[in-house]
Structure formats: structure tokens, C-alpha cells
Amino acid sequence: MERKHKKISESQVEISELMLPSHSNFNGKIHGGHLLSLLDQIAFACGSKHSRAYCVTASVDTVDFLKPIEIGELVTLKASVNYVGTSSMVIGIRVESENILSGKVNHCNSSYFTMVAKDKAGKSLPVPGLILQNDHDIRRFVKCIKRNKMKFKRQKEFHETDFSSKEYIHLLDDYNVKIEL
């Protein structure tokens, strides 16, 4: 019988990878696309470990690139289930880079991926709940509730608002646009 709730620590995943020249962009920094691929992989691993099912990425709510990553640095991604719904999970990911020579560690990225557990036919599956064990766990869960409410409010507003209306054209006054109607 599948458990109804799991501790966050039971699903946490951590991976490290050495950043190679083949991962770099034209500026010699690690390409954001490479990092996004790693983020998606660890979100999948963490969500699948929690749900004991294959997962798909439903949305990427936030990806904050805080510091560039250099070739030759060791990048570590740490993923945790921060929130669960019926079949969805928000996976919080922290990315740190380490200069191998100096030992200096930088927080480079924070991301939130919403993953959904699926069966072989592609139908959503229920996921175990979370056992919140401390203030940190509670804070992360509540922040996800807040982020979800803001997301749904934004989606509703964008769906219900006709932005082509001339009443919104004044919003463009302070931006670097030229209107030629």
C-alpha cells in the first residue's frame, strides 16, 4: 500500500556536474539553456522519487539567474518538494557553483518547477502529501500557496482583459516603443 504522506527529506535529490567548455555560450559563461536542461532533469528526478511515478513538467514558475557560472566550476543542484497538490508538486531547486581551486561557493540560481505525476496512459496520478517538520518546511509550502494564488490571479486577469483596447495605450508612454497606427 502506498503511503499517504512522505517527509521532504525522502524525496530530495542532489546532483553535481563539472562545467565544460562545450556547455558555454559565446561569452565563455555556462549557457542558460544547458542549466535549464539540468534543472528540468533534477525536477523530474525529485518529483518522480516523491510520487513513485514518471512526471512531466507542467510549468516553470520562476528561474532566477543570480550569478554567471564559469567553465571549470563544479555545479551542484539541490531539489526538494516544496508543495503538493492532488497530482502536482512544486519542486524548489537551488543551484550553487564552486570554484574548485579556491573553494568559493556561489548561489547562482533558484527555480520552481511544477511537475505532474502521470501513469503509462498519460493520466494524472495522485501524489503523496508532505510531512512538514519545521518552520522552514512550512514557509516553503506557504510561499508556494501564495505563488500559486498570484499565478492564477495573473492568468485570470490576462484572460479577461482586452489589452488591444485604446484605453491601455497610455501604459506604453514610459517604454521604449514607437507606435505607428
3-state secondary structure the chain: CCCCEEEHHHCCEEEEEECCHHHECCCCEECHHHHHHHHHHHHHHHHHHHHCCEEEEEEEEEEEECCCCECCCEEEEEEEEEEECCCEEEEEEEEEEECCCCCCEEEEEEEEEEEEEECCCCCECCCCEEECCCHHHHHHHHHHHHHHHHHHHHHHHHHHCCCCCHHHHHHHCCCCCCCCC
**pLDDT score, position 62:** 83
- What is the pTM for the complete model shown? 0.88
All structural domains of the chain, each given as residue ranges with its CATH number in brackets, are 5-131 (3.10.129.10)
pLDDT tens for the 181 residues of the chain, in order: 456 999 999 999 999 999 999 999 999 999 999 999 999 999 999 999 999 999 999 999 889 999 999 999 999 999 999 999 999 999 999 999 999 999 999 999 999 999 999 999 999 999 999 999 999 999 999 999 999 999 989 888 888 777 766 777 778 888 898 878 7
